[in-house]
Amino acid sequence: MRNRRLHLTLKSLFITNILLLLTACSDNATIKESKEDLKDVNCMRLVVFPPDKFLSETVQKLYDFDENCSYRLSISQKSGIVCNSNQNADKKILANFPSGYIRLDLTKGSKAIFSYYRDLTHKADEEDVQRAFERLQEAIK
């Protein structure tokens, strides 16, 4: 009886771990958009905060920004995030636990129009920036 219970416990742990591996850190972009407001976007002003030369140069290759535009595109990235919480110990051991992110927010005044967020297991590279910006361009078409 005891061996059977141990076997069932180990089996359920194995299945749980497999599910964690399959679901942890997939290509999980979170996108929020206001479709009605997106149709009026004809220009954007770029804000990179905190200042990041790589992000600024990369995104400026993709679009001709206008400093006088009322639509503000904010872009940021963070890497090297370390989570010391014991609640995430199993995910950190068994999967590619995110250590950073890339984020784009398009606003007009205080109104959010588009938001893109993606967890990363590395520092944002040119492909990550292009992917994020392509999602924005698809939304404003």
Instruction: List for the chain the helix, strand, coil content (%; round to 5).
Output: 40, 25, 35
pLDDT tens-place string over residues 58-98: 999 999 999 999 999 999 986 544 555 455 555 545 555 55
**What is the total count of domains within the chain?**
1
Q: Which domain holds residue 10?
A: 2-140
Q: What percent of the chain has pLDDT over 70?
A: 62
**Overall pTM surpassing 0.85 (yes/no):** no
The span from the CA of 37 to the CA of 39, in Å, is 6
Tell me which amino acid residue 70 is. Answer: S
How many angstroms separate the CA atoms of 45 and 73, rounded?
6
Give the number of other CB atoms < 10 A from CB of residue 124. Answer: 24
β-sheet bridge partners, residue 106: 73, 114
Q: Is 117 helix (H, G, I), strand (E, B) or coil?
A: strand
Residues of the chain with pLDDT under 50: 6-27, 80-81, 85, 92
Give the pLDDT confidence score for residue 16 in this predicted structure.
Answer: 39
Cβ contact 114:38 at 8 Å: yes
**Contact predicate 125/102, CB 8 Å:** no
